A and B are shown apart, each in its own frame.
Chain A
Amino acid sequence: MAEGDVGWLGLLASLVLIAVTIGLSWWRGLGLERDVIVATARALVQLLIVGYVLTIVIDPDQPLALAFVWVGLMVPFAAWTVGQRAKEIPGAFGIALAALTPSTVITLLIVFALGVFPLEARTLVPVAGMMVGNAMKDTIVAGRRIIAELSEKRAEVEARLALGQTWKQASRPHVRSAVRTALISQIETTKGVGLVFLPGAMTGLILAGIDPVDAVLVQAALMFLILGAVAINVVVVGEALTRRLFTSDHRLLPLTRSA
């Protein structure tokens, strides 16, 4: 076993913390015991399956095309997840797909064309995974924020429409504010990295025995990529979702806010 490897026994030991979580939920009457067990079981099963599949996908003897297929499946799956999680966002699947596709393609092109990472399956798959995962989360944040803004500020939006402004002009200040909010959380994460927390990739690399400075270089590059991907993503979401919230004759549709 390599330095930093967890192993099956280590994994079992880590379940003690899950037992603590269940105990706390039961003690404080939170009613989350079943959810914790289901989440733990799902995470274990999903990660193990992914681990075994990835072993094949990132095997240097396998063609690189296999890794591209993996990434190609990852994007629609992420969009589907957005559609499932954010049902209050009309057309969430299509919007997420329209946003995640360019953000993934553009950032991957930049990363590999500029040689930030070598183009190999073992870099392509995790880098794409981190970008898509973060962009997916921020797609939901941006979508919900846009709906909340336009719903709260309906009077202002309609006052602008009543002046003869287009849906784009009438929604612009509110969509800008929503997109800004979604992007700021990623900027704050980027600002706080290292000082406030050690992000996942870097922690993993250090645990695996990589020199901390080398781990920092990888993490910094990843953070910048994620920020770029999220920026492309929320801008596309802002445009695509807002267009769906208005009729072709520039009326704001009734909006349902998330709980």
Chain B
Amino acid sequence: MVSAPPLFAFEDVSIETPTNRILDHVDLDITDGGRITCLQGPSGAGKSTLLRLCNRLAVPTSGSVRFRGEALDAIDPLTLRRRVGMVFQRPTLFPGSVRSNLAEARPDASDAEMIAVLVRARTPGDLLDRDGDALSGGEAQRVCLARTLLTDPEVLLLDEPTSALDPAATRGLEELGRSLADDGMPILWVTHDLAQSERLGDDQVVLVDGRVADRDELHRYLAGDREGPDGRG
């Protein structure tokens, strides 16, 4: 029997800038299925960059990335980004109402579809006509998640989605992530919070200085030199 390919396979992936190596020969398989894989590591370790490789907001300087066996550069980037949804560190709502925000993801979505996706993101459906500026941080981040879900993604990339939220909103978003994963949605969740990673992750990947590391190395790093190279994150 042929085993299913990993969700994402990174093969000898490096990203360099003229002054800096952000990812350094990363070899990594992310397991497919309804699981949360936490990418953890100190600030500047290259976690966000690794995540951005998955939807081609970044491209490797060398090496290759595969998504469910397909080379990423062989997939149309616009199609890929709808299959691989992403939520950013800070809630990035566009100016206007929640409805207009959701319409950016799918202009033809009906009110019923929008309300359904808001409910799926544990947000009251009656928010549709509210202005994005009037939402709390937690609500705004859940609307961002609902907006991403409206593209009907196969995978979710969450880039430190709780770093700008208070503890209650953080807990709410973690529960939401867990329920989406339990419903079969694979999630890559970047965090620098070790406790969150342990609480949430079915799988854990540690990055230090742009390389895949083990937990001992992370602890040694955190205990000693905390200065990560610039430009990683």
The answer to whether A163 and B105 have CB atoms under 8 Å apart is yes
Given the contacts A155-B88, A250-B77, A250-B78, A162 and B94 also touching, CB distance less than 8 Å: no
The answer to whether A158 and B57 have CB atoms under 8 Å apart is yes
The 5 closest A-B pairs by CB, nearest first: A164-B82, A159-B92, A162-B86, A164-B81, A249-B77
Given the contacts A155-B92, A156-B94, A158-B88, A163 and B82 also touching, CB distance less than 8 Å: yes
- C-alpha spacing A74/B71, complex, angstroms: 50
**Which of A219-257 touch B at CB < 8 Å?**
249-251
A contact residues around B56 at 8 Å (CB): 249, 251
Binary interface profile of A, 142-162, with partner B (CB < 8 Å = 1, else 0)?
A: 000000000000011011111
- C-alpha spacing A173/B147, complex, angstroms: 18
The reply on A165 being an interface residue by CB < 8 A is yes
B contact residues around A173 at 8 Å (CB): 94-95
The reply on B104 being an interface residue by CB < 8 A is yes
Total residues of chain B contacting the partner, CB 8 A: 23
- C-alpha spacing A155/B47, complex, angstroms: 17
Binary interface profile of B, 147-180, with partner A (CB < 8 Å = 1, else 0)?
A: 1100100000000000000000000000000000
Total residues of chain A contacting the partner, CB 8 A: 15
A contact residues around B3 at 8 Å (CB): none
The answer to whether B148 and A163 have CB atoms under 8 Å apart is yes
The reply on A21 being an interface residue by CB < 8 A is no
Q: Return the chain B residue nearest A251 by Cβ.
A: B57
The answer to whether A159 and B88 have CB atoms under 8 Å apart is yes
- C-alpha spacing A159/B151, complex, angstroms: 13
B contact residues around A163 at 8 Å (CB): 81-82, 85, 104-105, 147-148, 151
Given the contacts A155-B88, A155-B90, A250-B77, A160 and B59 also touching, CB distance less than 8 Å: no
Q: Which residue of the partner chain, among B79, B81, B95, contacts A162 with CB atoms under 8 Å?
A: B81
Interface hub of A160, A163, A166, A173 (most chain B Cβ within 10 A): A163
The reply on B55 being an interface residue by CB < 8 A is yes
A contact residues around B77 at 8 Å (CB): 249-251
Given the contacts A156-B94, A158-B57, A165 and B104 also touching, CB distance less than 8 Å: yes
A contact residues around B81 at 8 Å (CB): 161-164
User: How many whole Å from A155's CB to the nearest CB in chain B?
Assistant: 5
**Which of B175-233 touch A at CB < 8 Å?**
none
